Amino acid sequence: MSHGTPFVRTRLRNMKRKRYILAALAALIVATSASAQSKSFSLGKWVELHNAILKELNRSYVDSLEVGRIEREGVDAMLEALDPYTVYVPEEEQEDFRMMLSNTYGGIGAVIYKSDVNGNVLINEPYAGSPAAKAGLVCGDEIEAIDGETTHGLTSSECSDKMRGKPGTQVHFRVKKLRDGSAWKAGETIDVTVTRERIALPSIEYVGMLNESDGYILMSKFTDGVGQGIRDGYHTLKKQGMKRLVLDLRSNGGGLMNEAVNIVSLFVPKGSVVVTSKGRAAGSEQVYKTMTDPVDLEIPIVVLVDSGSASASEIVSGALQDLDRATIIGTRTYGKGLVQSIRPLPYDGQLKVTTAKYYTPSGRCVQAIDYSHRNEDGSVGHIPDSLTHEFKTAHGRTVRDGGGITPDHVVKGHKYSRLTYSLVLNGIVDQYAMKYVCEHEPLPRVEDFHFAEYDDFVAFAKDKEFDYRSSARALFDEMKKTLAEDGLAEAMAPEIAALEKSLDMDKETFLRLQKDEIVPFIEEEIAVRYWFQQAGIKVRIRYDEQLKEALTKPAISW
């Protein structure tokens, strides 16, 4: 048989191919090894440089060196260069970190207020069923001393730290009472002992019927056990005649991924894919499926979202949308498609580090900001719509990635005036609510309460210091500064004066002009102080136009 036969030629080609493959594999191994060595060398280089710089500073720097401070700032700056979610948590911050994850802490269960560091601390808002409420503390009570130490000279944060502690321990207060009690008179100072408990701030803030057929669940965080809480809420509402479920995830910043899976599990078939996480490391992909039988595969579901709905909220809304199981209503969500894990560090520290991205059942990642590609100034931007991709839901509807969850029906919320934001953020509404409670006896039910003393609020607020300018006036003031910097203020003086006159509005006039949007905030704050947190939510629902419009939208059909 000659070398020219097809058999021999094929054999020669296979031998050459094997040599090429072996050569390519060898090159790949060398390249991989070189890459690993390069990364290892780079890491070692910077560790060595860091240590050398720190030693030289410690030896040569002109002033005493605060090593702990500059090292912490250096670590924080390094992690901030990655993304906002990768953070170092030292041992002394563990309790606050655990509280953030679990929504619990050891304490008396009350919001306090202290306007003057040299004054008493006030009970602003006790929680329903809390140790503070059980001990008889009410909104307006003044705490003069904590465990024998005067509150004068202490900040609000320092007072709060003294009230917190291990559940089961006691804290002693000297309290000036607001109202008459069985053993004291209003204005009398008494001693009150409160036994601290584990305070669990509710992640499910409200469960109730909006009308004869619509059940409503308001959820603020995805903490441990919240999936069971949604299950219990569903059964409660079903007994009350619920025909449609409204799950409110507006301003819900997320939390535990497994609880998002547990919630979706309630309404889709067992074994359904809810979310997939993918990291950089090989084999890091994890698929999360529903593991339990659903409670209801038929009930119509409305999920309310907005720009504050993030992370686990987007997992729930994205999965239910991809599986065509719910109608998503509101505005586009935040767009956080990153997964964080907790890693232990020396000296009992922890690193919360971004380890993966998550993908909804259709395959889309909702991450809106690309932290891996930064501008020259270090800033990052949103992924433009032109670079997003189309995906299909279970029944063929088109959805997109790269920018949060886009609702099936866009319904915008109320846009509040700058004045209203200023009143709330500066505590003017809070302060007035406390004043009102001190001067008025509560009605039997929150449903019967409607705030009618707006003239009194105006008189109270107009004497307070806060920025009451309209948005237009604030922009005008910035424009005046720019014109002055550009040397145009004098030349345009007549026009500037005329515009300033038309925009100028005194505080009282503006307060009266915005009455309709300010009154709901006042009613809510007063309701919370009389009847606790759920009463405030009832008032909020009373004025929630976005929720009311959402109820008129049809379910998505396919």
SS (H, E, C) 397-462: CEEECCCCCCCCEECCCCCCCHHHHHHHHCCHHHHHHHHHHHHCCCCCCHHHCCCCCHHHHHHHHC
Q: In 3-state terms, what secondary structure has residue 326?
A: coil
Q: Does 25 have pLDDT greater than 50?
A: no
pLDDT in tens, 374-425: 776 666 777 777 778 899 999 999 999 888 999 999 999 999 999 999 999 9
Active site residue 352: no
Residue 399 to residue 314: CA distance in whole angstroms: 13
**What local confidence, expressed as pLDDT, does residue 270 receive?**
97
* Number of Cβ within a 10 Å radius of residue 332: 18
Residue 526 to residue 528: CA distance in whole angstroms: 5
End-to-end alpha-carbon separation of the chain, Å?
Answer: 68
Phi and psi at 247, nearest 5°, equal -105, 115
pTM (2 d.p.): 0.85
Q: Does 37 have pLDDT greater than 70?
A: no
**What local confidence, expressed as pLDDT, does residue 382 receive?**
75
CA angle 240, 247, 272 (to 5 degrees): 105
Unique residue bearing structure tokens 């709060």? 160
Choose the catalytic residue: 322, 401, 430, 544: 322
The CA-atom distances, in angstroms, between 491 and each of 92, 451, 494, 495 are: 59, 50, 8, 9
pLDDT in tens, 295-304: 999 999 999 9
Alpha carbons within 13 angstroms on the beta-carbon side of residue 160 total 12
Q: Does 14 have pLDDT greater than 80?
A: no
Q: What is the mean pLDDT of residues 493-521?
A: 88
Q: Does 525 have pLDDT greater than 90?
A: yes
Q: What is the mean pLDDT of residues 103-120?
A: 88
Type of residue numbered 418: R
Residue 538 to residue 202: CA distance in whole angstroms: 16
* Number of Cβ within a 10 Å radius of residue 478: 10
Q: Does 439 have pLDDT greater than 50?
A: yes
Q: Does 7 have pLDDT greater than 50?
A: no
Kindly tell me the burial class for residue 554, based on how many C-beta atoms sit within 10 Å of its own C-beta (0-12, 13-18, 19 or more). exposed
pLDDT in tens, 247-259: 999 999 999 999 9
**What local confidence, expressed as pLDDT, does residue 23 receive?**
52
Q: Quote the distance between the C-alpha of residue 501 and its chain's center.
A: 41
184-188, 233-237, 288-292: least confident range: 184-188
Residue 397 to residue 390: CA distance in whole angstroms: 10
Residues of the chain with pLDDT > 70: what percent?
92
**What local confidence, expressed as pLDDT, does residue 520 receive?**
97
pLDDT in tens, 514-523: 999 999 999 9
Q: Does 511 have pLDDT greater than 90?
A: yes
pLDDT in tens, 324-363: 999 999 999 999 999 999 999 999 999 999 999 999 999 9
Strands 390-392 and 149-150: unpaired
Q: Report the 3 state secondary structure along 413-426.
A: CCCCCHHHHHHHHC
Residues of the chain with pLDDT > 90: what percent?
65
Q: In 3-state terms, what secondary structure has residue 189?
A: strand
Choose the catalytic residue: 130, 272, 309, 311: 311
**What local confidence, expressed as pLDDT, does residue 13 receive?**
54
Q: All domains of the chain, ordered by start, with CATH?
A: 104-200 (2.30.42.10), 204-410 (3.90.226.10), 418-470+505-550 (no CATH)
Closest listed residue to residue 286, CA positions, set 254, 261, 316, 250:
261
**What local confidence, expressed as pLDDT, does residue 240 receive?**
98
* Number of Cβ within a 10 Å radius of residue 492: 13
Q: What is the mean pLDDT of residues 443-452?
A: 92
Closest listed residue to residue 202, CA positions, set 225, 231, 236, 168:
225
**What local confidence, expressed as pLDDT, does residue 351 receive?**
94
Active site residue 322: yes
Phi and psi at 346, nearest 5°, equal -60, 160
Check if the beta carbon of residue 204 is closer than 8 Å to that of residue 218. yes
Choose the catalytic residue: 114, 336, 352, 538: 336
Q: Does 499 have pLDDT greater than 90?
A: no
Structure confidence at residue 18 as a pLDDT band (50, 70, 90):
low
Using CA atoms of 138, 142, 144, 146 in order, give the dihedral in degrees to the nearest 10: 30
Query: Angle between the 428-439 and 515-531 helix axes, to the nearest 10 degrees?
Result: 50
Per-chain mean pLDDT for the chain = 88
Strand blocks (E) in 389-451: 390-392, 398-400, 409-410
Q: Does 9 have pLDDT greater than 80?
A: no
- The DSSP symbol for 103 reads S
CA angle 262, 391, 325 (to 5 degrees): 40
Q: Does 478 have pLDDT greater than 80?
A: yes
Q: Report the 3 state secondary structure along 519-543.
A: HHHHHHHHHHHHHCHHHHHHHHHHC
pLDDT in tens, 320-334: 999 999 999 999 999
Residue 46 to residue 393: CA distance in whole angstroms: 47
Q: What is the mean pLDDT of residues 449-456?
A: 96
Q: Does 82 have pLDDT greater than 80?
A: yes
Residue 356 to residue 513: CA distance in whole angstroms: 49
56-60, 138-142, 476-480: least confident range: 476-480
